[in-house]
Structure 1
């Protein structure tokens, strides 16, 4: 097993440069960083966490708090976080709330993070005033991925603008009767995400002079089963049906497509469907969607924290991630 000196000799740089490159710290060129990582992999270099921790006073571990590990968005963010941490020879300590608010006690009130991590990254969570105070007292760099949180910086998309663009795509095709499958979720999760997407939908409809029918705004729980159930209820009601639906996530959009099939409706001939995410299964469903990159969001957030742990000036502003409209076969003009 090679040590840091062997990696330095193989790349022709100092041991200090090797250390900075492997920990993802600033002031190392990308070319040098890539060469160091390649040599470390080839030589089988493994950092000594105990020695590094004693020297720096750090644990060389980052805490990551997730509502659950069962959703595509969360797993993609975690992949991005893990990729950056591995490159920096940092460990990830995962705190999985398991979808239950009660487990937050284990993370915050028992101060696990104080003893075991150097920084905190949270996915799609909102925080109580008491939790914010605990985070401040910890003194750890903290960032949120997936929706804005009052008092904390975040990495994520512009929820309102993204939803507005998705709805405008349907309106541009000629749809006037549009439903919204929203993502209301469990208490304690970031309510700004579904709220922002509802605001974007509503604004697009109002600006186009179209009615927003409250009975066509339905909760889908950010999941395929709940989205399918909610859409089936809507399609089972007497009276006119929507010709299109904007779903606040691709998983809910999948549910809407399946519900259309349950009622003998064709997509997009009888019902156009658009989502947000560009889930791995979206091409298979032919789903038109607003694509985001949660892997990159996790990586960006992690790099921000690692840079600050390395002495960089703290970043106070949030990061807006790009989105792209990908048109597939699930949307088309309404039938006349």
Structure 2
């Protein structure tokens, strides 16, 4: 079996230099690193993670906790986190965290506590106070995505401001008969995403001097949910709005499909805007507020690894990085068609 001494001999360097080149710890010139890596590849040498851990104190593994895997936003964040970690030579251990349950308790009390991680990334999970205390006691760097968590650097968008901007875009086009199709408040997402997007819509309507009575319809955060709610909202021509602000792009896609099925032209008869920046938005020509989940994932990894290299003084309140959303205007929104007068 080949060892580090064999790699060093083939590369023509000292054993300590070969070790630094392969572990990434300590300075080694780019030319020397390339020679060492090429020598290791030539003889099939793979550094032992356990041995490296004894030297560096690191496992080169990051734990990630996430509530959903199959939903678009979470899968985009997860894929970007994994790619960013791999680029830095780190492995990832994933925990699909359910809501309050014995299974969730076991993740915190056993897996995160007893398995060795260099750090932990929490994606879209509003941790309870005992869970936050438990993670802090582990003494490892923590980064969150989705909303503020006590004592943890977190990354998020401003859901209220984004919803307000989406509504203001419709108002600026001349729409006054606008319906918000959003998530059910009874099935609220963590960090109150449904409530905040409804609040942004309501604030924009109120500031424009418009009533919000009867202007909200609940939907699942899915394309089928948007389709079903869209049929209900658009099916009665006497109460049909001229515009819909959908709380997610997937809801918006469902509304557009429902409109087409009912013979309603988008945007001539109905304007539709969403929030997310889903890859299918271009295909549906959907105007939307893009939130770039992949950028959030990459930033979380960058932040975590930076804290590993230079541990920050704990901030009791926690640092919140609010990323901007970008209005991408496409052909699903336009000025409303003038109403016929008798």
Structure-2-length-normalised TM-score: 0.82
Worse overlay, 146-155 or 171-180? 146-155
User: Contact 1:2 / 1:43 at 8 angstroms: preserved in 2?
Assistant: no
> Which residue is equivalent to 2:275?
276
Cα deviation 1:10-31 (Å, max 9, x = unaligned): 9xxx6687467x58xxx99xxx
How many residues align structurally? 325
> Which residue is equivalent to 1:161?
161
> Which residue is equivalent to 2:73?
73
> Which residue is equivalent to 1:328?
330
Does 1:227 find its partner at 2:226? yes
Worse overlay, 315-324 or 165-174? 315-324
Return the offset for 1:239: 3.9
Cα deviation 1:181-220 (Å, max 9, x = unaligned): 213488684133222222211111111112212x331222
For 1:208 and 1:90, the matched residues in 2 are separated by 50
Cα pair distance change 1:240/1:187, threshold 3 Å: closer
Cα pair distance change 1:311/1:187, threshold 3 Å: farther
> Which residue is equivalent to 2:130?
130
Structure 2 residues without counterparts, runs of 5 or longer: none
Return the offset for 1:95: 0.6
Return the offset for 1:314: 5.2
Q: How does 1:258-277 map to 2 (within 5 A)?
A: 258-277=257-276
> Which residue is equivalent to 1:245?
244
Does 1:318 find its partner at 2:317? no
Structure-1-length-normalised TM-score: 0.84
Q: How does 1:290-301 map to 2 (within 5 A)?
A: 290-301=289-300
For 2:188 and 2:30, the matched residues in 1 are separated by 39
CA RMSD of aligned residues (A): 3.4
Structure 1 residues without counterparts, runs of 5 or longer: none
Higher-Rg member (1/2): 2
Cα pair distance change 1:260/1:129, threshold 3 Å: same
Cα deviation 1:251-281 (Å, max 9, x = unaligned): 1111111121232211111111111111111
Cα deviation 1:88-114 (Å, max 9, x = unaligned): 2211001113x6553423322x32111
User: Contact 2:274 / 2:288 at 8 angstroms: preserved in 1?
Assistant: yes
